[in-house]
Amino acid sequence: MFFVAIIVKNNSIIDICWSLNFILATIISFIWTLAQNRVISIGQIVLTSLVLIWGLRLSYHIAKRNIGKGEDKRYKERREAWGKNFYVKTFFLIFMLQALWATIIISPVAVSNAVDFSGLTFNWIYADKSLSEIIPLILGGLIWILGFYFEAIGDRQLKKFVRNPENKGKVIEVGLWKYTRHPNYFGEITMAWGLFIIAITFALGDWYIWFTIIGPLMYTLLIRFVTGVPEVEKHLITKPGYEEYMKRTSVLIPFPPKKEKY
């Protein structure tokens, strides 16, 4: 994708391909286990299906939003600042760095897909398992669904708001955006933690699965403090009314808006 970006002179293509990294790592680990063990577990089916739904929806959404609109201002700024080192820095600091991040973030699924599951095949019955194993599975699934709801519905609400000419220049404060400034980012983080909980549930016998907690943990920190919220709000802070919106609305975790003091 780096070479494609060079040809079309648009590094925004990495945003479209970001979630496809998740899909690629998940499918590779899924096929690897299928080829080695000749059996597919319920855990692998659940995890792989959720990642496919997440990744394909996000990639489609970003592609539909970005295609035909030129390079994002973030990448334009880097293009100007990096000068003669542009291509080298683009390769390592944009494409390879994001590939590394994506690999770490999806590691709970990739590792869980690759381990040898203990009898969790198509014949696996919930009644044969203890509550300590069933509850984390259900909890992880519900957390993932909550995250997917916030991301998908948040994106749809923003799209509808922007398309309305009456809202030009205004700050969105309807729907989920009334309770969090970044419902889509909250959804991303929540889905990552949901996948981790499901992964450790199905690979409970393999203690090293716990090391993959670095995946959702790093994703949370990246979105909150590095590439997500700070990058977006750096440009939005100059928008009329956004600073007031920031004072009364939670950054990520949804909360009722603060009442204004008179």
Mean pLDDT within 128-137: 66
- pLDDT tens readout for residues 197-206: 998 887 766 7
> In this prediction, what percent of the chain has a pLDDT beyond 90?
61
pLDDT band at 119 (very low <50, low <70, confident <90, very high): very low
Name the one residue in this structure whose structure tokens are 């700024």: 77
| Domain map (residue ranges) of the chain | 2-248
- CA–CA separation, 79 and 111 (whole Å): 36
User: Residue 9: is it exposed, middle or buried by C-beta count within 10 angstroms (0-12/13-18/19+)?
Assistant: exposed
Rounded-to-integer distance, Cα 179 and Cα 81, Å: 36
Range with top average pLDDT, 83-97, 109-123, 126-140: 83-97
pLDDT of residue 127: 42
Q: Is the pTM of this model over 0.85?
A: yes
